[in-house]
Amino acid sequence: MELLRSQLAKVRIPEPSNRIYKQECCISFDTQNRKEGSMLISARFLLLDHPKPDNEDRPHKKPTLLAIGMEGGFNAKEQEYDTTYSIVILPDFLELPYPNVQLPEKVRLAVDGVLAAVGAERKEQVAAWTAEKKRVSAFACNLQQLENGVQVPPSGWKCAKCDKVDNLWLNLTDGMILCGRRSWDGTGGNNHAVEHYQETKYPLAVKLGTITGDLEAADVYSYIEDDTVEDPWLAQHLAHFGIDFSALKKTEMTTAERELDQNVNFDWNRIQESGKDLEPVNGPGYTGLVNLGNSCYLASVMQVVFSTENFQRRYFANISLKEAFDRAPADPTVDLNTQLTKLAHGLLSGKYSASVGRRVDEADSALPEVEQNGIPPAMLKSLIGMGHPEFSSSRQQDALEYFQHVLDQVERCHTSNAPQDPSRCFKYYVEERIACSSSGKVKYNKRADNVLSLNIPLQAAVNKDEVSNYLRKKAEREASGEKVLDKEIVRPRVPLSACLESFAAAEQVPDFYSSAINGRTVALKSSKLASFPEYLVLHMRKFVMEAGWVPKKLDVFVDVPDILDINFLRSQGLQPNEELLPESTDDGPQVGPVADELIVSQLMDMGFPRVRCEKAAINTSNTGLDPAMQWLLSHMDDPDIDAPIAVASKKGAGPASVAVNQEHVETLVSFGFQADQARRALRETGGDVERAAEWIFTHPDEMSAMDVDADNSNVPSTGPQELFPDGRGEYKLLGFVSHMGSSTQCGHYVAHIYKEGRWVIYNDAKVAASGDPPKDMGYLYFYQRLS
C-alpha cells in the first residue's frame, strides 16, 4: 500500500474523452483492514458536458432503404460510453488509474480477477433465462476433426472472410474462424459461420471469447440440432487445434447472456404515452421497479398492490425494516414477509426515488432532468417464483395469474393470523344460483374469489354502426388491393356496465341432473356477489378463441367510469318462495356430472383423447364447445389429465366417501392449505399426502369452485363461514394495468395509478405524471370502495 501511495504523485489520471457519459468503476483497498483481498467495488455514471453537435452526429444523406444500421438505411448509433477503472486507497481516498504498469503484480492480478468475475446475480439471471440444462450434442462423441495442420492462437482472432474481430466462432471440425449471424439491427456478424456450415455441413462450433477453465460455460452451437448444446469432449476438440483452454479468459458474452441483455435493455418506454412530455415524479410512493427481463408484469402488479391501504399498513406503516429483519428467520431471503416489507419500504419511503443526477447547466432548461434508477426486485421475484415452472423463469407472464399467485403466497403466510392478512381486502364471495327448469327448485353454492372476470359483449358496443361501416369499407379496400390507414380504424367501444350485466345474466346449463325429477333437464345458472370487497379487481377477458381455435386478442375499448356502483350485483340468497333441490338418494342414478356427448365428439374430432374431452366438458358444466376448448388448452400439462374419471353409481360411492386420516389433513394444513381443500385432495388421491399437495396445485379451478360448506352445499348458510370485509357497492377507480401485445405471454405491461389528485404512469423504472391515461385499454382494473 505504501508503494501505491508513492506512485500516486507520478501517475496522472487521463482526461475523459468527449463522450456523452463516462462510467467509472472503482476498486478500493482498505489499508485499515489487513485481511488479504479486502476490497470494495463501486461504479458511477457521470454526465459530462453536453457534447457539441458535429457532422458525425448528423445523417450524411437521406435514407434510401427501410433498414437500421445498414448502408443506405437509418442510423442506429446509440449513446456511447467511456469505461474507466480506478484503484482507491482507503481511508485517504487516494485514487490511481487502472491499468497501470507501475502497480505490483499481486495487485494487478487481484484487480483483473475482480473485473473478470461473474456475479451470482448474473449467473442466476442467465440460468433462469435458459431455464433448461443444455443437452449433450449427438455429434460431440464421434466428431470428425480434420488433420489439416490448423493451429489457433490464444488471441488476436479475426474472421477468415471479413474484418470482424468479435462474435467469432471456431468450427470444431476444420478449425475455421468465422463471424456469427447478423442481428436484426445490422449489428453482430456477417453470417459467414452459418454459410460455412451450409457449404460443409460441419455441425459444431464454439464461440471464441467464451472459453475459460469452466468448459461447461463455453458457448457451443450445433447447426444441425439448431440449438446451444454441451460438448463433454470440448477439451480434446480444442487441443486438436493447439488451444489450451485453461489459459483463456472470457471476453465475449454467450448467446444466452446476449439474449438476456437485449431483452433487459429494450426500451419499453417508447410504447406508452410516446410523444408526450411527461414530467418525472419522485418521492414517497413514486419509486420505479427495474425491469429484470420480462418482469414488467411483476412491476405493474406490485405497484398497484402496494397502493392499497391494507398492504401499506401491513408491510410499511406498522413495521420497520429493522423489526422485520429481527423477526426474520436465519435466512431472510426465503421469508416472504421480510421481502415484502423490504419492497414496501423501497417503494413507499421515497429514499430510492430521488433523481440520480442534475442538469449539467442549471440555466439550460433544454437539458432533460436525469430520471430515477428504480429498485431491482430480484430477490422478491426469485422467492415468489420459487418452485413455479413459469414465474421462476424469465419469460413474460400473465399479470392476472401473477396477481392471484402473489395473493395465495401472502395468505399462506397468515394462516395462523388471518386478521393481519392484507390479501383479504381483495376477497369476496360469489353466490351461484342454479334453477331446475322442470321443477322450479333451486340450488345455491358459494365460492371465494379475488378477481371478477368479465366477458366483453361486442354486441353491446355503443358505436356498432360506425364499426359496421368501417368493416364494410375495409373489406372493399382489401378487395381492391388497398390498405386501411391506422387513423381510419374504428374499434368497438363497450361500456363496463354491459360487461357487468353480462356477468349477472342467467345462462342455460343443458343436460343438468336434477334430483327433484331424478333425471336430466335444462337448468338456468346465474351468479352474483354475496359480499363486496374493499378493493374490487376486474379482469377484462380480451383473449378469446376465434374460428379455427386460434387465440385472438380483442381489439376493443372498454369505457370504465371513475365511480362505479355494483349494488345491483348483490345476491339475496334463498327467497321465501323458493324451494331447495333435494339431495340425491342412495338408489338414484349416477352421482356426479356427465359429459355432454356432443361436446366430447366435437373435441375428439380435433384429435384430443376421449378422457380429456370428457373432463373438459364436465369441468365447464357442459356450457358449450368454446369454454370446454379453453379449459382443455389450459390444463394440457396437468399430471392427471389422462387419468380415468372416477364415477360412482350410487351416492357415497365416490371419492367423497373415502376415509381421510386426520393427521394427514393436519400435515397439509401446516403447509398452508385450508382444511376442506386438504380433505378433498386426500379423497381424490387415496390418502397420499404428497399426491394430495400436488393435486391442489394442479386443480386451482376445482379448489376455487369448492362450496363454502362442503358437507351441506345445497343449504345456503346465513353467512359465510370465513368473514371477508363487506360494505356498500360504491367504488372509485384506483388504478389499472394495461397490456400491449397480441398475447399475455409477450408484449409489455404498464400500470396507471391515481395518487394525490392526478394519474401517474409506472412504466418499470419510469415514474411520471400521466398526460392521457388510457383508461379504456385496461386489462386489470382496481377499484377502491368509497368510505
pLDDT value, residue 545: 64
Share of the chain above pLDDT 90, in %: 33
Q: How far is CA 491 from CA 327, 466, 484, 488, 741, in A?
A: 53, 9, 13, 10, 16
Question: Which of 618, 681, 626, 679 has the alpha carbon at shortest distance from 645?
Answer: 618
Q: Which helix (H) or strand (E) covers residue 433, if one does? A: strand 428-436
Residue pair 604/538 in contact (Cβ under 8 Å)? The answer is: no
pLDDT value, residue 711: 35
Residue pair 642/609 in contact (Cβ under 8 Å)? The answer is: yes
Instruction: Report the amino acid identity of residue 616.
Output: A
Stretch among 25-39, 114-128, 260-274, 479-493 having the lowest mean pLDDT: 260-274
CA–CA separation, 156 and 260 (whole Å):
27
C-alpha grid cell, residue 514:
336434477
Give the fold, CATH level 3, of 126-264: Herpes Virus-1 (3.30.40)
State the DSSP string of 173-222. TT--EEE-PBPTTS-B--SHHHHHHHHH---EEEETT--SS-GGGS-EEE
Stretch among 77-86, 240-249, 394-403 having the lowest mean pLDDT: 77-86
Strand 519-529 to 177-179 pairing: unpaired
Other Cβ atoms closer than 10 A to 593: 17
The pLDDT of 352-375, averaged and rounded, is 56
pLDDT value, residue 489: 79
Instruction: Report the amino acid identity of residue 537.
Output: V
Question: Which of 34, 144, 7 has the alpha carbon at shortest distance from 90?
Answer: 34
Residue 120 has pLDDT above 70, yes or no: no
Q: Is 739 annotated as a binding residue?
A: no
Q: Which residues pair with 763 in a beta bridge?
A: 766
Q: Is 240 annotated as a binding residue?
A: no
Of 345, 405, 748, 752, the active-site residue reads 748
- Alpha helices by DSSP H, 363-425: 378-384, 399-412
Spatial CB neighbours of 155, under 8 Å, sequence gap ≥ 6 = none
Question: Which of 458, 433, 721 has the alpha carbon at shortest distance from 581?
Answer: 433
Burial level of 259, CB count in 10 A (0-12/13-18/19+)?
middle
The pLDDT of 504-531, averaged and rounded, is 88
- Which among 304-313, 377-386, 657-666 has the top mean pLDDT? 304-313
CA–CA separation, 195 and 184 (whole Å):
17
Look up 196 and say whether it is catalytic: no
The verdict on whether omega for the bond into residue 91 sits within 30 degrees of 0, i.e. cis, is yes
C-alpha grid cell, residue 77:
448509433
The pLDDT of 278-297, averaged and rounded, is 89
Residue pair 413/340 in contact (Cβ under 8 Å)? The answer is: no
Alpha carbon 683 to chain centroid, angstroms = 34
- DSSP-derived letter for residue 51 is P
CA–CA separation, 177 and 241 (whole Å):
12
The pLDDT of 414-443, averaged and rounded, is 90
Strand 730-740 to 778-785 pairing: antiparallel
Residue pair 26/43 in contact (Cβ under 8 Å)? The answer is: yes
Residue pair 739/729 in contact (Cβ under 8 Å)? The answer is: no
pLDDT value, residue 614: 86
Q: Does domain 277-425 have CATH number 3.40.50.620?
A: no
- DSSP-derived letter for residue 429 is E
Instruction: Give per-residue pLDDT as tens, 451-481.
Output: 999 999 999 999 999 989 988 888 887 676 5
Residue pair 628/617 in contact (Cβ under 8 Å)? The answer is: yes
Residue pair 554/772 in contact (Cβ under 8 Å)? The answer is: no
Q: How far is CA 509 from CA 432, 524, 716, 724, in A?
A: 13, 6, 21, 30
CA–CA separation, 696 and 679 (whole Å):
10
User: Helix, strand or coil for residue 520?
Assistant: strand
Q: Is 162 annotated as a binding residue?
A: yes
As a whole number, the mean pLDDT across the chain is: 77
Share of the chain above pLDDT 70, in %: 71
Burial 330-339 (b: 16+ CB within 10 A, else e): eebeebbbbb
Q: What's the CA angle centered on 414, arms 411 and 419, to 5 degrees?
A: 100
CA–CA separation, 340 and 313 (whole Å):
12
pLDDT value, residue 187: 64
Domain residue ranges in the chain: 2-117, 126-264, 277-425, 428-583
pLDDT value, residue 181: 81
Q: What is the 3-state secondary structure (H, E, C) of 648-694?
A: ECCCCCCHHHCCCCHHHHHHHHHCCCCHHHHHHHHHHCCCCHHHHHH
Q: pLDDT class for 124, splitting at 50, 70, 90?
A: low
- DSSP-derived letter for residue 725 is P
Residue 281 has pLDDT above 50, yes or no: yes
Residue pair 672/412 in contact (Cβ under 8 Å)? The answer is: yes
Domain 126-264 identical in fold to domain 428-583: no
The pLDDT of 154-158, averaged and rounded, is 89
Of 26, 296, 436, 499, the active-site residue reads 296
Residue 509 has pLDDT above 50, yes or no: yes
Residue 134 has pLDDT above 70, yes or no: yes
Residue pair 537/450 in contact (Cβ under 8 Å)? The answer is: yes
C-alpha grid cell, residue 199:
457449404
Residue pair 25/45 in contact (Cβ under 8 Å)? The answer is: no
CATH number corresponding to 428-583: 3.90.70.10
pLDDT value, residue 781: 97
Q: Is 159 annotated as a binding residue?
A: yes
Residue pair 715/442 in contact (Cβ under 8 Å)? The answer is: no
Residue pair 169/221 in contact (Cβ under 8 Å)? The answer is: yes
Q: Which helix (H) or strand (E) covers residue 751, if one does? A: strand 748-755
pLDDT value, residue 53: 41
Look up 748 and say whether it is catalytic: yes
Residue 776 has pLDDT above 50, yes or no: yes
Residue 61 has pLDDT above 70, yes or no: no
